[in-house]
Structure 1
């Protein structure tokens, strides 16, 4: 099947899809663990180096497409099959890292911060819910970062840097307008109270339509994208 052929292209590059991310996570954790050892007493050390993996998933959405799209088209694969294959790879990586983060958060809590009150995986607020809610928070976040990167890379391929600049300016203008309106109508306090009244899991649900938007638009664009 064409999707399986396309998946083989991505599976050959395990370094990009898995190993580099593991190395980044391992190095940042060792650095955080060293900081935790150096802090005296019972003070908790809060280190957020694990956030690099979220950024890496965004980069994977960009790099994964740019490195393989032309090659896949050279193998006469359909654009639909190619998009499905890279989406499957992205979702698989998101699932793997989500499971890893949830498990390590549990280990961190069980060992009381790896024996020295380190907070690295069991992050306050993000990990306040049950295991299902924690899983959903991380998985939805990973999926959003990956498909945002994929959308940007496909959009740039289709419309070029001029199109990307136009899109960026449009988004920037929209955000600026929203900030001005929120300031004018004095809704910042109400917005802040609304956010703090919701858990990380409840807020993450609002990101699902955004992830679906990235998926749908990138899928529609790639069908008309030239090599």
Structure 2
């Protein structure tokens, strides 16, 4: 437990990466979109999707966290298990904080009549249809999944190098290509659209939990066999 907390504190010291940079990116993007919406006369609803940058940032963090901290942690005699638990702890804390912040800003946006310029920056149709608790769960689960997908990519590179990463991308490309062709040829996309119309974003996020857990387990197994 002490070693796990040491890894957590090691990550927490880098506030620039975990806190300041993503907040700065969001603030700049929000300010630009707010200025545009206020300058327009009788603007239509503006759905910028700028908040998606937060998920992209979490994905990138999953990719770069291992090269930046894994060799250092092992050099300090931290086990791979404790490193993984400590790294998981920091992303849980960060995802919880950002999901909570997103819920607050979404409520402020709605109460302020969308910032007076019909700007929908923190509220996204379909994602914000449920209760505040359901919205929090959606944001949290999505961030965790994006992070662990990035962590799997980084773990594959740490374990098998560039060749392993190339094989991973080739396999993913083939699977996506075959899957896309099957959805089009057998018209499964019609069934998918009907299913999405009958289910909420909250329930879809619950279906994503097993995927996130599988990514987490795979990244842990890869790190156990990885060298410094």
Sort the TM-score into its range (normalised by shorter chain): over 0.9
Equivalents in 2 of 1:133, 1:64: separation in Å? 29
Residue 168 of structure 1 aligns to a residue in which SS? helix
| 1:95 matched residue in structure 2 | 96
Deviation digits for residues 155-213 of structure 1, max 9, x if unmatched? 11101111111111111111211222222222221221112221111211111111001
Instruction: Please list every run of 5 or more consecutive structure 1 residues that lacks an aligned counterpart in the other structure.
Output: none
Deviation digits for residues 54-85 of structure 1, max 9, x if unmatched? 10011111122211111111111111001111
Instruction: Please list every run of 5 or more consecutive structure 2 residues that lacks an aligned counterpart in the other structure.
Output: none
Equivalents in 1 of 2:65, 2:144: separation in Å? 14
Q: CA deviation at 1:10?
A: 0.8
Contact 2:38 2:117 in 1 (8 A): yes
Contact 1:126 1:200 in 2 (8 A): yes
| 2:40 matched residue in structure 1 | 39
Deviation digits for residues 34-67 of structure 1, max 9, x if unmatched? 1110221152222111111110011111122211
* 2:210 equivalent to 1:204: no
* 2:59 equivalent to 1:58: yes
Equivalents in 1 of 2:186, 2:56: separation in Å? 34
Residue 106 of structure 2 aligns to a residue in which SS? helix
Q: Provide the aligned length of Structure 1 versus Structure 2.
A: 227
Contact 1:35 1:45 in 2 (8 A): no
Equivalents in 1 of 2:30, 2:88: separation in Å? 28
Aligned runs of 1:33-182 on 2, under 5 Å?
Answer: 33-41=34-42, 43-182=44-183
Q: CA deviation at 1:117?
A: 1.5
Contact 2:38 2:116 in 1 (8 A): no
Contact 1:39 1:45 in 2 (8 A): no
Residue 38 of structure 2 aligns to a residue in which SS? helix
TM-score between the two structures when normalised by the length of structure 2: 0.96
Deviation digits for residues 128-168 of structure 1, max 9, x if unmatched? 11111111111110000111111111111101111111111
* 2:18 equivalent to 1:24: no
Structure 1 vs Structure 2 CA RMSD? 1.1
Contact 1:61 1:90 in 2 (8 A): no
Bigger CA drift: 202-211 or 21-30? 202-211
TM-score between the two structures when normalised by the length of structure 1: 0.96
Bigger CA drift: 3-12 or 157-166? 3-12
Residue 145 of structure 1 aligns to a residue in which SS? helix
